[in-house]
Structure 1
Amino acid sequence: MQQVEAQTVGSTNVPDLNTGTPPCINCAPVGWVSGSTDMSNANGYPVSPGVFLPWTPALSNVPAGQQFFVTGLNVEKATTTISGLTAGTTYIFTFFAADLQTASTDVNRDLTLTLIHPDYNTLYRNIPFTGGAGVNNWEKFTYTFTATGPTLPIAFKWAGNYSGAWGVYVGPNAVTALPCSALTSAAGTATQTVNAGTTITNVTYSTTATGVSVAPAFPAGITGVLNTGTGVYTISGTPTAVQGLTSYAIQFTGASCATNTQTFNLTVNCKAGASAPAF
């Protein structure tokens, strides 16, 4: 379970109708600013109101739910702001990008789009297209960052002055707080059945949490230890008493991550040759 966060960034599916009805020229999604960029859809690249050049070939690996996306040429730049952030918390911004082509536009292979601060002074990350995948192929990218304030201004543009077109699609819920933990031991370790007196296989989680709570408390012989220096939480030990299947909710909390809960399931049978108690 992950706590609900308030961070937002405008989806490119939602056009600002004050700037135009997509596909449109010099227009933008709600919450975005067009730096001479346009809004396109699966039909093609807009060249005048109601007229567009079809993508050649057709778009591939189209993200689920995509309706409209931002497109740019040359030095054109599209700008928006991620808002609702909490300073010190780490977030993941997920978006999709494509190197685009129509029958009348240049082809760019293995070129690089950039995610930058709108003032051009800060490069957040390069977005290299995999030319082998071909043009008009949507690729998924992420940018992980730790917020220093309530907002993060961002912009997309070519790394250079390329004549071909690029496209960026941002869907709903594109920004999420990094959860405080992730299971790093084998998946099967989260559910174990052992005999009393037999040591369990260690269960480990990578974590940025500063606190951990467990409910109900682990049985005698089982402990959970958080090492904030290594960022590892370990469940280990040898249960001493028989018990039926019990689920332990392990809640990880921290100032730099989104609270989340992991579950450890444990069944303890009687020792070999001993009589099993009734539950």
Structure 2
Amino acid sequence: MASAAGDAAASSPRAVAPSSPEPLVGTWPHALSHEPMLRVSDVLALVQRSFPTLTTSKLRFLDSHGLVCPQRTPSGYRQYSPADVERVRFVLRQQRDHYRPLTVIKEQLDALDSGRLHEPVTLQEIGEAPSDYLSAAEVAERGGVSVDVLGELERAGLVAATVPDGYEPAVLDVVVAASAYLAAGGDVRALRTLVLAARREADRADDAAAPLRRRGGGEADARAAEFGEAAIAVFSASVRLRVGG
């Protein structure tokens, strides 16, 4: 019985001692990036590995109840940060492993936000295998940049760790492209401008696909995704034509 109680205590947020620092600014997890760079489809791709039942409507539900509060694009689309993704995982873990109601989970998140509770974020605790992520050194080596340059890209908001020193393999595409751009004589500030422009075009592609997505159903979602990819391909081809001309 003592062992079971110890295991339960280890899996739950722990109260911080009275001598802890004053309440933190911002929302938990404070150590992760709060840069809004992930779409709903990105969040589903990240989280459904451990929580296959997560759906778009569930994400909307968590948003409406104030448990996870993603930012919005001008057109109203939700954009999540790596910190938001971990909050989603936290809520789902509490429901699946401890059967806690949303009111209790909301109180826990409020306490984590203020620093009254502590929940460390590690690869094991978020339920993902370490091999799912790349370290900063691995991203830098495979991407053809130094760790210092990777740090510059992260400070500029171009890439972000999903967990402390853990990057999704998908960031390699951005890092490799950034490495080629910098090697050709560009700088990080100009690169950030290009990336922001590309993200705006991606948002426009999402807007154009919205009528298809609103029809609902797996086929409609697939057609919307195909439409979005086609729109991005047109954007890419147009850029190449312009630069080549």
Please indicate the TM-score interval, normalised by the length of the shorter structure: under 0.3
More helix by share: 2
| TM-score, with length taken from structure 1 | 0.22
| TM-score, with length taken from structure 2 | 0.25
Larger Rg: 1
